[in-house]
Amino acid sequence: MKFLDELPRFLFFTGKGGVGKTSVACASAVRLVEAGERVLLVSTDPASNLGQVFGLTIGNAVTPIPSVPGLSALEIDPEAAADAYRERIIGPLRGTLPAAELDGVRESLSGSCTTEIASFDEFTELLTDDATYGEYDHVLFDTAPTGHTIRLLQLPGSWSEFLTAGGDASCLGPLSGLERHKAVYANAVQALTDPARTRLVLVTRAQRSSLVELERTYAELSEIGMSGGCVVVNGVLPAAAGDEPLAAAVRAREAAAIAAMPSRIAALPRDLIDLEPDDIVGVDALRRLFAPATAVSPPDAAAPEVALVPAPLSALVDAIERDGRGLVLCMGKGGVGKTTIAAAVALRLAERGHRVLLTTTDPAAHLTQALDGGTVARLTVSRIDPDAAVRAYRDRVMATKGPGLDDEARAALAEDLMSPCNDEVAVFHEFSRAIHEARRSFVVIDTAPTGHTLLLLDAAGSYHREIRRQMGDGIGLVTPLMRLQDAAHTKVVLVTLAEATPVLEAEELAADLRRAGIEPWAWVVNSSVAAAGPESPFLRRRARNEVEQIDRVRELAARVAIVPMLAEEPVGVERLTALCDPSLRAAG
């Protein structure tokens, strides 16, 4: 593998959700350890699944992997990191401040910004704290899906610039600690932008959408000084999958996507990794990942055929339509097809004569790309652009609060609004607008991958608690969180693949939502090989592996839709609309 040659100390595995970053990062860690290196494997994804791959609980502490001596792992848990961060700040103040003032400090540290800063601090320490992490020859970062990762990698520079300019930020703790933050963030920037210390591993699938996003990711990371790197095209359908019509069509589609790879990333060193017939779980599977896929023996003639009870996506659309309006949130792990399902649902509703807003909270999503430039009457497509949201938020605050201030106070307000903390607040405001719009029409939201969406819901919870604290429980105001909790207003659709990790992560997401008082409404199993009725032994084995996961989904959910794997990528109005056709087959 070219991307493992002459390695620097830090490796960042990044790319669109669902392309296999975790599998590639874990397999790389195992290979390096077995070559005699000491390795720390770190997940910066708020919805990490490192523990699932190795079959043990990891969490927010460095954990040795018993099955791979020399390998340790760490999952940066945003909530655990935030609790520890708050205690580091509040602990020394106990007994020195009155209770009311201490409560004020605690409240200032209760929002989503503190959660982000806490995770970010752990991340920067991994890059800069040699006293704690110097024993490792390599530190491998399995990052969150693209948008969340770009935000994380931009933060060292953003905070460094803000503090150097004299900005104040209560979420960073007492002012006496700001000099330390300046030094740490500056060192983190140096580590990230030094090719001798850090290598980007750009992981993708052989799909047009993944490759286009990868080029965009590379361009944005290059702007902050991260250049070079390698491309890993993961999950390429091998010759061992046979020549049946479905396999031949998918293989031709992948070859065309690779041939048309955007020039900027096509110039980088490249590795191709074959799709495996089984899930990549466990050390033995990780060892096999970088080897060419081998042929699969035909199943025993006595083995039962894979048969699924039909569960068309159109049935869910029918149920959504009955209310005449409302909010539909498509949620789940990155790469499971949330954008595709959200667009298909929105198109179907619009074609039936309803006014529909289709939007996204994913910083890396481009709905217009999924629609391939197509338009439909009564359908409005938008995107919650973080940069635009921040600009609008700053302008709004200055316009409403600035006029009553003197020049000095107005300058201080403008400086405070430059804090990176305001980015999440601004996106939350736009998210709230979309929720409000669903009182009058259909609003379908393609959400960011799980971890980023949970942080957004945390912002909704923080806002709800603050409103209740300030105004009491007897008020008539309805907060965004209350609308999300209202089953008559909001339908949460969990999208997954029929694989162990996506299903388990969707199950955990459902539990997180229930703790927030939000009940999932339906599940969609997307791109199912089993539902496509494959013929080759290779694809039939993948289909058999799916059945157990689909059965699990049916146990968890009252409403389920199953969308088959398609010979053609579901891009454009015609193909997206076809996803809601009950007669859809794989060759469609």
Q: Which residues are catalytic?
A: 18, 20-23, 45, 501
User: How many whole angstroms separate alpha carbon 512 and alpha carbon 3?
Assistant: 36
Q: In sequence order, which residues have a C-beta less than 8 Å from that of residue 20 and are 6 or more positions away? A: 203, 205, 234, 235, 273, 280
φ/ψ (deg, to 5) at 563 = -110, 125
Burial category of 375 from C-beta neighbours within 10 Å (exposed 0-12, middle 13-18, buried 19 and up): exposed
**Residue 356: enclosing H or E segment and its boundaries?**
strand 356-360
The CA distances from residue 236 to 247, 286, 293, 501, in Å, are 11, 16, 10, 19
Residue 456: which of 485, 482, 480 has the closest Cα?
480
Return d(Cα 312, Cα 447) in angstroms, integer: 22
Determine the Cα–Cα distance for residues 83 and 104; give it in Å rounded to an integer. Answer: 16
What are the phi and psi torsion angles at 304 (to 5°)? Answer: -65, 150
Q: What is the spatial distance between Cα 121 and Cα 138, in angstroms, rounded to a whole number?
A: 20
Measured CA distances, 331 to 16, 166, 181, 532 (Å): 15, 39, 35, 23
Distances (CA, A) of 571 to 263, 378, 403: 22, 20, 48
**Spatial CA neighbour of 505 closest among 457, 459, 552, 563:** 552
Instruction: Give the three-state DSSP class for 376.
Output: coil
CA-based R_g, the chain, Å: 24
Q: What angle do CA 523, 525, 526 make, to 5 degrees?
A: 130
Sheet holding 71-75, edge to edge: 63-64, 71-75, 39-43, 138-142, 10-14, 198-205, 230-236, 270-274
- C-alpha distances (whole Å) from 159 to each of 117, 176, 452, 510 are 10, 16, 20, 34
Q: How far is CA 374 from CA 190, 351, 377, 385, 571, in A?
A: 44, 13, 10, 21, 10
The C-alpha torsion from 129 through 133 and 134 to 140, rounded to 10°, is -110
DSSP per-residue string spanning 526-556: EEEHHHH---SHHHHHHHHHHHHHHHHHHHH
Which of 67, 438, 69 is CA-nearest to residue 283? 67
Tokens linked to 543:
């289909």
Residue 390 to residue 392: CA distance in whole angstroms: 5
Measured CA angle at 204 (ends 199, 209), to 5 deg: 130
DSSP H or E segment with residue 78? helix 78-90
> Contact, 486 vs 502, CB < 8 A?
no
